[in-house]
Structure 1
Amino acid sequence: MPSLSKTQIELLKEADIESTHLSPELIAQIAKQASPKELTNEQLLEFLQVCNALYRGGEPFISDADYDFVFLAELQKRHPHHPYLETVEPEVVAVGKTVTLPEPMLSTEKTYSQSGIEKWLSRLEKAADDCDVDFSTLMIRATPKLDGYAAYDDGKLLYTRGDGRKGTDISRVFERGLKVGGNGKRGQGAGEIVVSQTYFNNHLADYFENSRNFQASIIKEKDLEQHALEAIQNHAAVFFPFSQLPDWKGTAAEVLADFDQVIEKVYSLVDYDVDGVVFELVGNEQIKKYLGATRHHHRWQIAYKSNVETAEVIVIKVTPQTSRSGRVNPVAELTPTKLSGAVISRATAHHYGMVKELGIGVGTLIELTRSGLVIPKIERVIIPKEPQIPEHCPSCGSELVWDSDYLYCLNTTKCPAQIENTIEHFFRTLANVDGFGQKTVEKLHACGINSVYAVYQLDMEQLQDMGFGDKTAQNLMDQLQRSRSESIEDWRFLGAFGIHRMGLGNCERLLQHHHLMDIFKLTVEDVINIEGFAEKTSAAVVECLAKIKTDFMQIHQLGFNLIQTPLIAEQQQNISPISGKTIVFTGAMIHGKRDDMSKEAKRLGAKVGSSVTGKTDFLVTGSDVGAAKIAAATEKGVRVISEEDYLALLGRSE
């Protein structure tokens, strides 16, 4: 039986939802039985509110189909005009000042069948007839229905959807570096915060149960976790305006003639979680105005959602996998089962605490769910068995130890999985070197290469002896040289060593207060004194720095072209004309790449932003800059200067 976890209970408290009619045990029982018949009106409404809050907070408790067609349908049957049915389900996770949205941000009417789309098109046809418009000429746009975190960007602020009319200011996510998907421009209205499926599967699935859980973490006021910050910095997480989504367009006749093909094509247009397809009328404001909207949704728009498929599946075994950090993660190997058009044979069990608590082992009968292209999830355990908990690391055989809900291998220097993942992480984080992916690293390790330093000691002859072709070997040598000669920020170099609790953001924050070569002398108290570092994190940082010191010094002395992070103390002494200023670069630059100019500005003590705000001091313009952008900056009181003016400010006019 599913039960409310500590995280879910805490989320309900944050959402200010008090269960006056339902206990946690009764909530779990209702979810298991999926039958609202015996519930009072108060209990039914409260259950819907609880489920919505958990879903919006990234901790879904029941499937979308059960929510829509079992519980919400029951409320509609009892009270067709209940206020809950006419309101936008609120996003509940954001904390901050409530503000009125620039325009209403409504929900979308949903259907789970082709017949539902046909009925919607019939309504459009009737409206076209009433407006004396040829229905056959109307164009329908189909876009992926993103399963993200809804928000609205007016160019100045980013708002949560809230209740559709009032939301919360979460502009902080742009200050953290979140980019805009599509053409990258701010101020394009409604959209969703999403994360790349590929990136989530490769880098986040070990730390977040699902992508909604991750998306919800991005907007919270507290400091971001390392993994969330890295996803933003790698542009894997973005705010994607609906207007910028790739789409399919055609007539109503074409929608009906090729319905399955249209759905299949639209699902594959983006690398984000998609839980449906949105159909909408485009290009005829007369009919849109005629159709209007309810308080809940626009009538000229509808979402087709694939039925959430579930299956009862037997667990064959639970396979442990060791990550770079030494954490051993459980993967449930399943009887191959087809769900949502794909054969599923594996599903994450998240952590071994879950395996132990729910009884996941050989022969466990689980309910597996998958909707559209969303990652398969163990919905609940139907028949538990003896949990399958490893005692030794699957990679090196060392004894594992518990830390909260997680199992760890502490053999950091000799564990093959940790060695290979550590080498791969180093080169991936540097982001200025290619060729050292998983297969290359595995091949190197099989030939006795056990560290990043050892990789840098290789020569052409050794690589050829390992089985690399002449061209590949030369490319690897060139890439190693490139990684040392190309400029790179010192905080990124530090982040490549994979220090526990030290994402790239924390690395940069640390080096804003202490020079790179001084950090190994720091005490826990020194780190605690830096804003954003709690006591537990500080202790972990100092401990990990001591562990990597030898490797760090060996690699550092190879000679890298590091850009030093300006110390805040030095910035306050006005060491340059732009020290302490906030600068945004836009347009094509003549005297250098924008990225290089940004790095130089940071080195001179400036803060470099990605978009113009009221706190921006200078908007430095290259060529091909739109007049609207300059006008918006001027309106905010931001000084607009040309590239030549900027160089003159630095004393480098030509």
Structure 2
Amino acid sequence: MDKTAIKQQIDQLRQELEKHNYQYYVLSQPLISDFEFDMKLKELEKLEAEHPGFFDPNSPTQRVGSDINQEFVQVKHQYPMLSLSNSYSLGELRDFDQRIKRQIDEPYEFVCELKFDGTSISLSYENGQLVRAVTRGDGEKGDDVTANVRTIRSIPLKLSGTDYPEKFDIRGEVLLPFAVFAELNQAREEIGEAPFANPRNAASGTLKMQNSSEVAKRKLDAYFYYLLGENLPDDGHYESLQHAKRWGFKISEHIRKCATINEVIDYINHWDHERFNLPVATDGIVIKVNSRRLQNNLGFTAKSPRWAVAYKFKAEQVSTTLESVSFQVGRTGAVTPVANLTPVLLAGTIVKRASLHNADIINKLDLHLNDVVFVEKGGEIIPKIVDVNASLRHPMAQKISFITHCPECGTELVRREGEAAHYCPNETGCPPQIKGRIEHFISRRAMDIDGLGEETIELLYNEGLIHNIADLYELTAGQLVPLERLGEKSAERILKSLENSKNVPFERVLFALGIRFVGETVAKKLAQKLVSIDALQSASLEELTAIDEIGSRIAESVLAYFQDIRNLEIIRRLKEKGLQFELDQSVISERSNKLEGLSIVISGTFEKYSRDELKDLIEKHGGKNVGSISKKTSYLLGGSNIGPSKLEKVEKLGVPVLSEEDFLKMIE
């Protein structure tokens, strides 16, 4: 196939995948299955790998992010990101309407929008392509988080249609849907990390993570609400957003035009109740004058526009009775307290439980049995107790104390210095921990064993067939077929998937072991640097902390894991069954120490390789990727269009500049 035909095939796949991305993440109307999408994506990845000259940073394959840390650069906003003035009563909204009437002697209409409770972002597009994403910062300048934003699948990297301006900015809110937030907090609590307080904090923290591949896993979403530029398609704010929707942006379907302030108030009253049925957090309504011409006439104060105001909802709060506190044990042994409440209606749902997170929160609230407590949902998924009516407390009420022993196995709990959670140290004898580790081992991102799920693991454990992850590989058809809900086909699928899992690469096997604090990215770092489980087992604290991104907490956890003879026995058994405990030889053969001790910054665009491919080559040959230039930088690997600030710093510090060709000669 000639290059023209290959280019056409790549372009066609990119267009198809972007279309399906839009249908799934923006319209929630998928046209093909996840499997079909994945197959097309793999086909595109293969073509791009075979023909690196056709690299495009806006390709659907680039949405997974990079494992390389980056330092955020401050960027000045072309249009300042001002705050909105807030109102908390309908009377204040009527005053807002009267102020506009006094300044404008012609008819006007309002646009009402849901105020999403996330973190603000400003995107810049040129010739239909995303070129920059910047956080609000101080309103005048913010952090360039383009690499992270590219991983958000509801954000178009290339626009549809042809009627978009050559250059424009669009403002929006990056957020975490409730369902994703709940999964994230559950995972954090299981490894003993403090849960995020609300989806807004989680979204903000995620957007500022240094590692864009980790951002991609968090499943951020984004809604857009404001276009800025010189040649926008319409004077109407509402009408411009409808254009943006056709270009591929996710615009809330609940945006409305209102002819009078009374219609605005009707809209607010409706959403004061209906907002609790939304999949994302909202904390108010934004009201804007629709005409951009009239917006310009009304102007701005020093801090906010005169043509817009935010009406803030009050967080709904109810009182109920604390009946008891129960304690749950996660797979890492972290013990989480949960308040059991007298059922009460809150924000449209019946609430029976509220998370208490840890002992510190129980003590801060000074909780007693049968206390009348105030429960709030607001932007939370899981309701939380925010206060106690101590005046109604019975004088003999029993104070709630954190338990001292595991509720599942009776082992005395421990609390490590500097951590909020209590742990059950009985890793190999505590049922929730045993089952939790097995569930983690078989999960999709780990060993991806088909046919096994939480219920099946529970069944196999209760039947005495499995007590640890190594026991999975001892299962037989004779043991599985007679079990409830299984049978021959299910047994065959489980055993076949277990056999296939022996081909899972070392870095995923290492992640699957469930070593505390060793997530996917850390497992990959350890595997690439130390090559085998034997080398990892014999590594010292100093050797581990010398690896990029491996701090003392992770290193100490790894050392503790390999000091436990029970873990060593499990690894021995898994080795005997044929699991991969070292990097593939083809990967090892590509490695060298030619760049050992060198710190390299990449800037610009390249002809033969993408930036991510060059970063991968640097690591394979022992070098270190760094995001910013300093006195310690060994080289700037520069392509075309190097950032002027980087060039200026290179010249000032005397850092040598490598061309792509020179770099490739170094690693030949």
Q: TM-score range by the shorter chain?
A: 0.5 to 0.7
Aligned residues: 506
Deviations 1:221-258 (A, max 9, x none): 8x88xxxx996352334676556444123331676666
Cα contact 2:404–2:412 (8 A) shared by 1: yes
Cα contact 2:112–2:264 (8 A) shared by 1: no
Alignment pair present for 1:104 and 2:121: no
Q: Which amino acid aligns with 1:554?
A: R
- Deviation of 1:104 after TM superposition, in Å, equals 0.9
Higher relative contact order (CA 8 A, sep 6+): 2
Residues 191 and 204 (structure 1), Cα distance of their counterparts in 2 relative to 1, 3 Å cut: same
The aligned runs of 1:254-653 (5 Å cut-off) are 260-261=269-270, 268-270=277-279, 272-280=280-288, 284-356=291-363, 358-371=365-378, 375-383=382-390, 385-404=398-417, 405-428=420-443, 429-430=445-446, 432-448=448-464, 449-470=466-487, 472-477=490-495, 479-481=497-499, 483-485=501-503, 490-517=506-533, 518-547=535-564, 548-559=567-578, 564=584, 570=591, 572-573=593-594
Deviations 1:175-202 (A, max 9, x none): 6x97235235399654445334323323
Structure 2 partner of 1:150: 120
Residues 558 and 178 (structure 1), Cα distance of their counterparts in 2 relative to 1, 3 Å cut: farther
Please give the alpha-carbon distance, in whole angstroms, between the structure 2 residues aligned to 1:479 and 1:540: 30
The aligned runs of 1:37-116 (5 Å cut-off) are 100-113=76-89
Residues 566 and 479 (structure 1), Cα distance of their counterparts in 2 relative to 1, 3 Å cut: closer
Structure 2 partner of 1:161: 136
Deviations 1:278-324 (A, max 9, x none): 34455x42233233333333344443432122334332111111011
Secondary structure of the structure 2 residue equivalent to 1:414: coil
Q: CA RMSD in A?
A: 5.0
Please give the alpha-carbon distance, in whole angstroms, between the structure 2 residues aligned to 1:633 and 1:166: 18
Q: Which amino acid aligns with 2:569?
A: T
Cα contact 1:422–1:498 (8 A) shared by 2: yes
Secondary structure of the structure 2 residue equivalent to 1:345: strand
Secondary structure of the structure 2 residue equivalent to 1:251: strand
Normalising by structure 2, we get a TM-score of: 0.62
Secondary structure of the structure 2 residue equivalent to 1:513: helix
Secondary structure of the structure 2 residue equivalent to 1:368: strand
Please give the alpha-carbon distance, in whole angstroms, between the structure 1 residues aligned to 2:343 and 2:82: 40
Please give the alpha-carbon distance, in whole angstroms, between the structure 1 residues aligned to 2:423 and 2:295: 57
- Deviation of 1:632 after TM superposition, in Å, equals 11
Unaligned regions of 5+ residues in structure 1, if any?
Answer: 1-94, 586-593, 620-630, 638-648
Alignment pair present for 1:183 and 2:155: yes
- Deviation of 1:433 after TM superposition, in Å, equals 4.6
Secondary structure of the structure 2 residue equivalent to 1:400: coil
Please give the alpha-carbon distance, in whole angstroms, between the structure 2 residues aligned to 1:440 and 1:166: 53
- Deviation of 1:123 after TM superposition, in Å, equals 6.9
% same residue: 23
Secondary structure of the structure 1 residue equivalent to 2:328: strand
Cα contact 2:322–2:339 (8 A) shared by 1: yes
Please give the alpha-carbon distance, in whole angstroms, between the structure 1 residues aligned to 2:102 and 2:353: 48
- Which of 197, 205, 228 aligns to 2:178? It is 197
Please give the alpha-carbon distance, in whole angstroms, between the structure 2 residues aligned to 1:300 and 1:264: 26
Alignment pair present for 1:236 and 2:180: no
Cα contact 1:400–1:408 (8 A) shared by 2: yes
Please give the alpha-carbon distance, in whole angstroms, between the structure 2 residues aligned to 1:456 and 1:438: 17
Cα contact 1:267–1:276 (8 A) shared by 2: no
Q: Which amino acid aligns with 1:150?
A: S
Unaligned regions of 5+ residues in structure 2, if any?
Answer: 1-70, 125-129, 159-167, 227-248, 628-634, 648-663
Secondary structure of the structure 1 residue equivalent to 2:401: coil
Alignment pair present for 1:210 and 2:229: no
Residues 269 and 219 (structure 1), Cα distance of their counterparts in 2 relative to 1, 3 Å cut: closer
Q: Which amino acid aligns with 2:399?
A: E
Structure 2 partner of 1:642: none
Please give the alpha-carbon distance, in whole angstroms, between the structure 1 residues aligned to 2:462 and 2:403: 25
Q: Which amino acid aligns with 2:409?
A: C
Secondary structure of the structure 1 residue equivalent to 2:373: strand
- Deviation of 1:325 after TM superposition, in Å, equals 0.9
Secondary structure of the structure 2 residue equivalent to 1:417: helix
Q: Which amino acid aligns with 2:197?
A: N
Residues 314 and 281 (structure 1), Cα distance of their counterparts in 2 relative to 1, 3 Å cut: same
Secondary structure of the structure 2 residue equivalent to 1:402: coil
- Deviation of 1:151 after TM superposition, in Å, equals 4.1
Please give the alpha-carbon distance, in whole angstroms, between the structure 1 residues aligned to 2:412 and 2:179: 32
Please give the alpha-carbon distance, in whole angstroms, between the structure 1 residues aligned to 2:576 and 2:175: 40
Please give the alpha-carbon distance, in whole angstroms, between the structure 2 residues aligned to 1:329 and 1:313: 21
Cα contact 1:598–1:608 (8 A) shared by 2: no
Cα contact 2:153–2:221 (8 A) shared by 1: yes
Q: Which amino acid aligns with 1:100?
A: K
Residues 303 and 481 (structure 1), Cα distance of their counterparts in 2 relative to 1, 3 Å cut: farther
Structure 2 partner of 1:249: 255
Please give the alpha-carbon distance, in whole angstroms, between the structure 1 residues aligned to 2:287 and 2:275: 11
- Deviation of 1:219 after TM superposition, in Å, equals 6.4
Please give the alpha-carbon distance, in whole angstroms, between the structure 1 residues aligned to 2:178 and 2:116: 14
Normalising by structure 1, we get a TM-score of: 0.63
Secondary structure of the structure 2 residue equivalent to 1:328: strand
Deviations 1:428-449 (A, max 9, x none): 3327455544333323322222
Please give the alpha-carbon distance, in whole angstroms, between the structure 1 residues aligned to 2:589 and 2:135: 33
Secondary structure of the structure 1 residue equivalent to 2:470: helix
Structure 2 partner of 1:87: none
Please give the alpha-carbon distance, in whole angstroms, between the structure 1 residues aligned to 2:637 and 2:436: 40
Please give the alpha-carbon distance, in whole angstroms, between the structure 2 residues aligned to 1:314 and 1:339: 14
Please give the alpha-carbon distance, in whole angstroms, between the structure 1 residues aligned to 2:409 and 2:83: 51
The aligned runs of 1:117-128 (5 Å cut-off) are none
Residues 479 and 608 (structure 1), Cα distance of their counterparts in 2 relative to 1, 3 Å cut: farther
Q: Which amino acid aligns with 1:512?
A: Q
Deviations 1:469-499 (A, max 9, x none): 44544544454455445xx553333122221
Q: Which amino acid aligns with 1:308?
A: A
Please give the alpha-carbon distance, in whole angstroms, between the structure 1 residues aligned to 2:268 and 2:90: 8
Cα contact 1:398–1:411 (8 A) shared by 2: yes
Please give the alpha-carbon distance, in whole angstroms, between the structure 2 residues aligned to 1:145 and 1:460: 52
